[in-house]
Amino acid sequence: MRKFFLAALLALASTQVMAQQYEYGTPVPVRGGDDRPTRFGLFIAPNISWMKPTSNKSNDKLYLIDAGGSKVGFSWGLMIDYFFAENYGIATGFSITSTGGKINTQFNPNLANPPADTNLVTSTSFDYKLRFLEVPFALKLRSDELEPGGTRLFGQLGLTAAACIGKKASYDVTYYDAVGVSRTVQGENEKLTGTSISPVMLQLNLGGGIEYPITQKLSFYAGIFFNNGFVPDATFPKQFDLDYTGKFDDGNVRLNNVCIRLGLFF
């Protein structure tokens, strides 16, 4: 009987010691191992954007077209990841993107039968400043953990739908008026109205990067992304309401950008 009581006392004492160590001991930091199917994050992204004509001539062959250069912009937004398998998921969210580009047109001097020099635009230079609300939908693939700490590589491919929420332009337009007098109109950071810029666009989104866990549920995120606009045309110059009567066409113009994303998943 005394042996039984002694064994019971020893078992009780060892249980109390283990409980005290668990409750009052120094916790061990845990990093990595985030297996949540859904997670949210925030990001910022400086970008470089440009407008690119699909042809060096307008649709009516009257104008020669070239890109006038790139612009520096900025994006910020919310990221949402949903993983339907350990390393495969859907990446979505939304962002506000400041972007734009430059497009120049010049009347084609090689026309066999040029139009009369009245109500005719001879050259234009447009510098666009645009803002879009963007919603991506992409397939996201990520690697296994590259180390016990949980660092992963990722890549994604999908589509981005964009709605224009702000449009301004600086411009320089030279034209012949109704009596054949050459005139020039200029604007500086003027607000555009109507459908002079496409109200919606669709872009192909491609990117990749790295995720580095800080804690079990907090991860640093960095990646580089390319957005390639393909439908519809970014600009509709025939809709511009400016101080001239001549109309012109800048062909099929696409809006593209490349950006570096930095963010946190929570």
pLDDT tens for the chain, residues 1 to 266: 444 444 444 444 444 444 444 444 444 444 555 678 999 999 999 999 999 999 999 988 899 999 988 999 999 999 999 999 989 999 999 999 999 999 999 999 888 888 888 888 899 999 999 999 999 999 999 999 987 778 999 999 999 999 999 999 999 999 888 888 888 988 899 998 888 899 999 999 999 999 999 988 899 999 999 999 988 889 988 777 666 666 788 889 999 999 999 999 99
Report the Cα–Cα distance between both ends of the chain, in Å, rounded.
58
Nearest to 135 by CA among 170, 108, 166, 95: 95
Please, what is the Cα angle at 95 between 221 and 219, to 5 degrees? 15
State the pLDDT at residue 45: 98
Q: Round the CA-based radius of gyration of the chain to a whole number and report it.
A: 29
State the pLDDT at residue 16: 46
Contact predicate 34/217, CB 8 Å: yes
Euclidean distance between CA atoms 234 and 248, whole angstroms = 15
State the pLDDT at residue 32: 54
State the pLDDT at residue 165: 96
State the pLDDT at residue 126: 93
Looking up tokens 């549920």 gives 217
Euclidean distance between CA atoms 75 and 71, whole angstroms = 13
State the pLDDT at residue 231: 82
Q: At CB < 8 A and 24+ separation, what contacts does 105-108 make?
A: 105/58, 105/63, 105/64, 105/65, 105/248, 105/250, 106/63, 106/64, 107/62, 107/63, 107/64, 108/57, 108/61, 108/62, 108/63, 108/64
| pTM given for the model | 0.82
State the pLDDT at residue 214: 92
Give tens-digit pLDDT for 55-106: 999 988 899 999 988 999 999 999 999 999 989 999 999 999 999 999 999 9
Which tokens belong to 145?
A: 């953990």
Share of the chain residues as helix, strand and coil, in percent rounded to the nearest 5 = 10, 60, 30
Going by C-beta distance under 8 Å and a sequence separation of 6 or more, which residues neighbour residue 143?
A: 87, 152, 153, 154
What CATH code is assigned to 34-265?
Answer: 2.40.160.20
